[in-house]
Amino acid sequence: MPPDTATRPTRAVLLDLDGTLLDTAPDLAAAANAMLAEQGLARLPAGVIRGFIGRGIAHLVESCLQSSGYPLACARLEPALRSFGAHYARCNGRESRTFPGVTEALARMRAASLRLACVTNKAEAFTTPLLAKTGLAPYFDVVVTADQAGARKPHPAPFLRACEALGVAPSEALVIGDSANDAEGARAAGCRVLLVSYGYSEGRDVASLGADGVVATLGEAAELLLRGAAAPSSGVAPSS
């Protein structure tokens, strides 16, 4: 990270979508199981599918196929991806809900003149309608999706694109996410990072992922930002 990271004020917050702002697992699981049924494969428990969320749809579909006992082949993956996409387009946002305190926290951040970006590994075709259906779209100055950035987190490109669009230096941005993808991508981009404890961390302990801190709610993150609570080297509360 640049040496002046700790001394620069936070001007922007870059937020992950699935597992940080929204619990999208019910809709993703419904689409995945509909895809598996079309492939003649057994359904998977929603909790299993939840563990595949975070690295994009291709990873989720591949993982579902493999977990259902199908030896993955490229010839099978493309039809499965098309099937998943068709089913997810129909159910996207149907059962997805904001996590507790999310809308209030976003409103507080905007009221404090912080620039906000949603940075997600979802495709734009799914992200835009999802943000609209859940009422989150008005809170964001910028939305960066994996297909727009040309790379998925943990690559730094999505975060760098968001910083450029917001007109801030990476050292002036705080990433809030739920997984190693967010922590590693933020570090590579030169941003500080907080992780929420309730998201889709692929079974990993978020306290072990090298973030500047771990928060129980987005409201806690907003409180840290607005009251200026700081750890000496990071500008955010330390993880335990």
Return the active site residues: 16
In three-state form (DSSP H/G/I as H, E/B as E, the rest C), the secondary structure along the chain is: CCCCHHHCCCCEEEECCECCCEECHHHHHHHHHHHHHHCCCCCCCHHHHHCCCCCCHHHHHHHHHHHCCCCCCHHHHHHHHHHHHHHHHHHCCCCCEECCCHHHHHHHHHHCCCEEEEECCCCHHHHHHHHHHCCCHHHCCEEECHHHHCCCCCCCHHHHHHHHHHCCCHHHEEEEECCHHHHHHHHHHCCEEEEECCCCCCCCCHHHCCCCEEECCHHHHHHHHHHCCCCCCCCCCCCC
Question: Angle formed by the axes of helices 57-67 and 74-91, to 10°?
Answer: 110
